Structure 1
C-alpha cells in the first residue's frame, strides 16, 4: 500500500520525486519515504523524540512540547545516504531499508550535544529528561556509586532498596537519582540499577563484577 497523498509531502531529489510522511509512536519519530510514482522498497528512518519541559511555579518540570523537527532538507540527506548505502526504491522488496541513527545522518536538532553542566539552575525550560538520561549513561554517575562502601551496602541490601546518588548541579535542576540492587541476576553476577526519581523510565542497568 502506497503512502496516502493526504497528510504526506513530496520531495524531488536529483530529478526523482519521492513522497514522505512522519508519525510518532512510543517516543520515536518515524519517517517513511518511497517513490511518488510506482513505489518499490520503502525507506524507514527512526528519530528519538525531543521533549521540552518547562518549570511550574512549584519548581517541578512539566512536559511542554515535542521538538524533534524533520524538514525537507533532513529528508534529502537521508535519501541520498540511503541510496548510497543500498536502498532500492524502484524494486518491489517486502523489507524496508531501515536507518536507526537517522538524527545523526539527517543532522537534525537531535544531534546537538546535551551537557547538563551548561544548563543554568534557574532555567525555566530544558530538555530535562535527556539531561537525566545523559547523566545516567555517563561514567561520572557510575563512579558515584562504585566506591567500596557503596559496593558493600548494595550487595548486603535487599533488592530494590534505594540509595541516593548525590550530584549538586543536577539537584539544583530538580533532578535526583538512586542506585539499587536489582532482583535479577545475570550469569550469577548481581545487576545494579541507576534510576532518575523524577523520570522512573530513565534507568540504566549494569552487571556488577564481583
Structure 2
C-alpha cells in the first residue's frame, strides 16, 4: 500500500463524513417526540412486590411503528414490556428506584427523563449504641456522651434516647448517620441502668428498631467532714 493510496483513502473518508454532516443539516433526523409529562405512573410509592402501571405518550414524525425499550435499576417488568404501557413489579428490598424508556424510530431514539419510585421497606431500622460501651461504669453527676448509629433504606425520621424507659431526648439531626446526645447522670440512675436507643423509619409503616445496653452508675458517698 503506497502513500498515494493512503492519502486518497483519507481524503475519501473526509469527503464522506462531510457529506453525511451536510445531509443531516439539509434533512435533519426526525426522532420520536415524547410527551412533556414524561412517564406517567399509577403510583410512585409502593410496598415490596406491588405492581404499578407506567406509560409514555410518544408520536412518530415518520411513518411506521415506534419501538419501546423500558429500563429500571431494580424490580422487574411483566411481559410484554415493549409497548407504550408496561407493568413494573417492585423488588423485595426497599429504597428509591428509577424507571426510564428509550423510544426508537428509523431515524434514531429519544430517551425519557427518569421517574423515581419509593419502595417502602418493611424491615426495621438498624440501630447501634456506639458509645458508651456496654457495662461501662459512671458516678452520679458525671456527664455521659451517647453516640447512636441509625440507618434505614427509607431514611430515619427520628431517634430517641431512653434511660430506664424514661425519654431523655430525641433528635432528627444526623451527622454522617450518627445521632449525638449528652446527659448528666443523677441519683435516680444509681445501679444497673438501661440505655435504649429507638429509631423510627421515614415511611408509612413508621417501623422501629432499637438497641439496648446497660451501664452501672455509682452514688457518691458523703465525706467524713460533711454534715
Higher relative contact order (CA 8 A, sep 6+): 2
Greater helix percent: which structure?
1
Q: Same fold (TM over 0.5)?
A: no
TM-score with structure 2 setting the length: 0.23
Larger radius of gyration: 2
TM-score with structure 1 setting the length: 0.24
